Structure 1
């Protein structure tokens, strides 16, 4: 546990706690808005959380050679997390785009813009 200073530990631990809170808040937002795309973002954040926990675990035990597999797991879950967040972002974009098409206001605006030649 001597591998990191106390301020660095505070940052590591608070980042993990903040990430867990963000996952929960995003999931709750998906429930409130009834938009399942936000669930995807919440689930897509989990690999990054695993990555952070791997880093904290490795540092907690003073970076031993016997736990170097955690570094590989951390790198792998970081890459996986980047892709899952990309997909979740695309799903949110797609749901927002389709929601705009379905609302009567956007249809009225589109019709007005078409009549005006815009």
Structure 2
């Protein structure tokens, strides 16, 4: 008897693939917009990916007692990932605010005629 059923494995693996795709798309968005804050978000997503891979690895080996340390690593990476995602969200928010302020400053400047 294995730890997970086939449908559960499909959900686990597809979730990991989706997370990797999201990281890649967010990185590309950062390139297109030239906004490094989005690159930060994509990097901040990596600890959550490590967490998911820990879970998949532990389940792949049928929750072996010798690999219980993976459960602790998964929990730690979840906490780290939540913190890095929060920090990246703050960075994106701040970059948006500074861009808005710069836009307001340029739009309120009087136009000088020659």
Q: TM-score normalized by structure 1?
A: 0.88
Tell me the residue number matched to 1:41. 41
Aligned equivalents of 2:47, 2:99: Cα separation in 1: 28
Q: May I ask how many residue pairs the two structures share in their alignment?
A: 108
For residue 103 of structure 1, give the secondary structure of its aligned residue in structure 2.
Answer: helix
Aligned equivalents of 1:16, 1:106: Cα separation in 2: 43
CA contact (8 A) 1:54 1:73 kept: yes
Deviation for aligned residue 1:105:
8.2
Deviation for aligned residue 1:40:
0.6
Tell me the residue number matched to 2:28. 28
Which structure 2 residue ranges, 5 or more long, are not aligned? Answer: 109-114
Aligned equivalents of 1:77, 1:56: Cα separation in 2: 14
Aligned equivalents of 2:106, 2:11: Cα separation in 1: 44
Change (3 A) 1:55 1:107: same
RMSD: 1.5
Tell me the residue number matched to 1:7. 7
Which structure 1 residue ranges, 5 or more long, are not aligned? Answer: 109-118
Q: Runs in 1 of length 4+ with deviation above 6 angstroms?
A: none
